[in-house]
């Protein structure tokens, strides 16, 4: 070997020095604090205000730092949470609530009636059920610091359901100073009275959120059940580590760098299931539901016959497998109300669950007078739940001989374009796909895409006064049996006017290291009761 070669190798060795030393040192894995849970959430926490946005990640953050007056349990019963006791007047127009003892915000201030009233009033400006409650409210009055009163203009059977609403927007209680903020302006102070405190100084948006146990929190005595019951925190600290790349997240849980991955893509189940230290489970009892949403304003889907035609060819099993990958994680659910919830029913469902009938669909298309108008299907290729649905629907439309164009973009573009009411030639759309978590479609009060309120309805703007009348009838139903009947009537009507088509129910499993225990089964990701051994 020549001198030059030796010199070059010396340089090479120098260049590799740091890496060699680092690898050869093989420093032992940093000992993770025993009482810290490292958790990969479903998305990046961007906003801290669960009233300002409906994003589920912000809702989950809300459950960490805030508490609620009431909460829904696993039997769909409304249970008191911050409230100790409540009374309803004989005329059902006055509700009196008394708070539990020992409730304190993270800034050590006591939770007062004024905080609760301001919080509920702010929530009622944004939430669909809150708006209904707001419309029927005559007044909110603080009797004293622990007792407050709601007076209604007319009886409303869903007051407690509204105050115990489990999913976005959840009526979380904030300090009055924050709850006085305009409902359309974001609150960025995470002071709540919930079981965890956010360490805002350590928040790195896009990467990390840190929570510590709220040692002042007084949990209820009852066992936890969804968001109801005792919120007993069994760890000192929780770190949400946003890892956008699923392969990296899988490697991180495989190697034990993180403890819990909230939502893992189904295609990674075979990889992780080989590791005996990782458990893969379904902790969401209701799952989510995909949907085909039509633009009811523009041709050709302003014609109900054409929307009905699709009902005869959509195969929910195909959509379930396309979304969930594994048939075990997806299933058909031919109901406009989340299967597994009290109002789910099979009224008229044969049109979607029966034998698929291409000829019947073609006959309906002929009846509709379809003249070859272009159909634009919006696709969001960055959304693994939206993209396969868009491909399947486009294929179905082609099989039916319709003039269809799949327009691919990202989710940010899709949710902007879907607000356009213009014809497709001017940037409008005909169909888009999305999905909703189980609680959001469980009742006519919550199911936004089932509204027929035209311009005030959700994107797609179905105009169906009859559907709205049936919804009002549901609100007026005095008991569960009557509510179920009313829900059936709504569903029968919906099969005729087809505001949307439910494509499939699916579950996204969670993965966690076997040293975790006590993860709650709930449609929301809740972090109390979880132990790290």
Partner 1 sequence: MFAYAVKRLLAIIPVMGVVALFVFSLLYIAPGDPAAVIAGDIATEDDIARIRAKLGLDQPYMVRFGGWLWALAHGDLGVSIFTNLPVAQLIGQRLEPTLALTLCTLFVTVALAVPIGVIAAWRVGTWIDRVVMGFSVLGFSVPVFVLAYLLMMLFSVRLEWLPVQGYVSITEGFWPFLRHMILPSVALGTVYMALIARITRASMLEVLSQDYIRTAQAKGLASDQVLYGHALKNAAVPIVTVIGIGIALLISGVVVTETVFAIPGIGRLTVDAILRRDYPIIQAVTLLFSGAYVLVNLAVDLSYTLLDPRIRY
Q: Please tell me the total number of residues recorded for the chain in this structure.
A: 533
Angle of CA points 71, 77, 81, to nearest 5°: 25
* Contact residue for partner 1 among 419, 426, 478, 479 (CB under 8 A): 419
436 binds partner 1 (CB under 8 A): yes
Structure tokens belonging to residue 19: 């890496």
Q: What is the DSSP string of 304-338?
A: HHHHHHHHTT--HHHHHHHHHSSGGGEE---SSS-
**Please, how many CA atoms are within 13 Å of residue 384, restricted to the half-sphere of its CB?**
14
Say how far apart CA 448 and CA 128 lie, in whole Å: 8
Give the binding range for partner 1 (CB under 8 A) out of 150-158, 224-232, 434-442, 517-525: 434-442
Q: Which residues pair with 138 in a beta bridge?
A: none
* Contact residue for partner 1 among 52, 172, 226, 370 (CB under 8 A): 52
Map residues 121-160 to x or -, x wherever contact with partner 1 holds by CB under 8 A.
-----x-x--------------------------------
- Residue 293 contacts residue 431 (beta carbons within 8 Å): yes
Q: Which residue number, 241 or 310, has a Cβ lying nearer to partner 1?
A: 241
Q: Give helix 304-311 / helix 480-497 axis angle, nearest 10°.
A: 110
181 binds partner 1 (CB under 8 A): no
| Beta strands 260-261 and 404-409, pairing class | unpaired
Map residues 499-518 to x or -, x wherever contact with partner 1 holds by CB under 8 A.
--------------------
Site for partner 1 in 358-417 (CB under 8 A): 382, 409-413, 415-417
26 binds partner 1 (CB under 8 A): yes
Taking alpha carbons only, the member of 424, 315, 308 closest to residue 367 is: 308
Q: C-beta of 131: minimal distance to partner 1 in Å? A: 10
* Contact residue for partner 1 among 11, 358, 480, 517 (CB under 8 A): 11
Site for partner 1 in 250-309 (CB under 8 A): 251-252, 254-255, 257
> Is the Cα torsion angle 12, 14, 18, 21 positive or negative in sign?
positive
Give the binding range for partner 1 (CB under 8 A) out of 20-28, 326-334, 359-367, 525-533: 20-28
204 binds partner 1 (CB under 8 A): yes
Q: What is the DSSP string of 28-68?
A: PPPPPPTTEEEEE-SS----S-TTT---HHHHHHHHHH-EE
* Contact residue for partner 1 among 89, 154, 248, 514 (CB under 8 A): 248
Q: C-beta of 75: minimal distance to partner 1 in Å? A: 25
Site for partner 1 in 54-113 (CB under 8 A): 54-55
Count of residues of this chain found to bind partner 1 when the rule CB under 8 A is applied? 75
* Contact residue for partner 1 among 32, 36, 42, 46 (CB under 8 A): 46
329 binds partner 1 (CB under 8 A): no
């Amino acid at each position: 070997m020549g001198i030059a070669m030796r010199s070059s190798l010396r340089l090479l060795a120098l260049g590799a020095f740091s890496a060699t030393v680092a690898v050869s040192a093989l420093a032992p894995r940093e000992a993770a604090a025993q009482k810290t849970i490292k958790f990969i959430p479903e998305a990046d926490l961007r906003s801290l205000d669960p009233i300002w946005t409906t994003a589920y990640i912000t809702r989950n953050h809300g459950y960490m730092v805030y508490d609620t007056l009431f909460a829904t349990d696993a039997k769909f019963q409304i249970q008191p949470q911050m409230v100790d006791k409540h009374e309803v007047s004989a005329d059902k127009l006055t509700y009196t609530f008394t708070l539990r003892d020992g409730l304190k915000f993270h800034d050590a201030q006591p939770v007062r009636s004024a905080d609760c009233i301001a919080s509920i009033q702010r929530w009622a400006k944004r939430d669909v059920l809150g708006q209904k409650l707001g419309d029927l409210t005559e007044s909110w009055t603080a009797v004293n610091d622990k007792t407050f009163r709601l007076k209604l203009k007319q009886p409303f059977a869903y007051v407690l359901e509204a105050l115990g609403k489990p999913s976005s927007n959840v009526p979380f209680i904030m300090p009055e100073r924050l709850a006085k903020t305009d409902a359309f302006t974001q609150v960025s102070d995470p002071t709540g009275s919930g079981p965890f405190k956010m360490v805002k100084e350590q928040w790195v948006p896009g990467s990390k959120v840190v929570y510590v146990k709220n040692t002042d929190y007084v949990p209820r005595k009852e066992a936890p059940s969804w968001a109801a019951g005792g919120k007993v925190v069994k760890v000192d600290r929780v770190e949400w580590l946003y890892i956008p790349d699923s392969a990296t997240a899988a490697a991180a849980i495989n190697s034990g760098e993180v403890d819990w991955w909230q939502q893992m893509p189904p295609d990674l189940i075979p990889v992780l299931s080989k590791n005996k230290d990782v458990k893969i489970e379904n902790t969401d009892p209701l799952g989510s539901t995909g949907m085909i949403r039509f633009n009811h304003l523009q041709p050709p889907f302003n014609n109900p016959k054409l929307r009905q035609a699709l009902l005869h060819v959509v195969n929910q099993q195909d959509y379930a497998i396309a979304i969930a990958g594994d048939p075990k994680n997806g299933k058909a659910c031919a109901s406009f109300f989340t299967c597994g919830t009290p109002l789910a029913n099979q009224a008229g469902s044969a049109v979607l669950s029966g034998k698929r009938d291409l000829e019947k669909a073609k006959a309906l298309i002929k009846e509709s007078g379809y003249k070859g108008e272009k159909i634009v299907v919006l696709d969001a290729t960055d959304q693994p739940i939206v993209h396969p649905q868009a491909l399947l629907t486009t294929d179905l439309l082609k099989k039916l001989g319709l003039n269809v164009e799949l327009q691919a973009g990202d989710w940010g573009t899709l949710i902007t374009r879907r607000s356009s009411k213009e014809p497709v030639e001017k940037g409008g759309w005909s169909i888009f796909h999305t999905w909703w978590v189980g609680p959001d479609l469980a009742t006519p009060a919550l199911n936004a895409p089932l509204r027929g309120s035209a311009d005030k309805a959700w994107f797609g703007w179905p105009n169906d006064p009859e559907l709205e009348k049936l919804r009002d009838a549901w609100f007026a139903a005095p008991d569960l049996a009557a509510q179920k009947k009313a829900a059936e009537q709504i569903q029968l009507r919906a099969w005729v006017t087809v505001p949307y088509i439910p494509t499939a129910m699916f579950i996204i499993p969670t993965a966690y290291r076997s040293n975790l225990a006590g993860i709650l089964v709930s449609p929301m990701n809740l972090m109390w009761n979880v132990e790290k051994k």
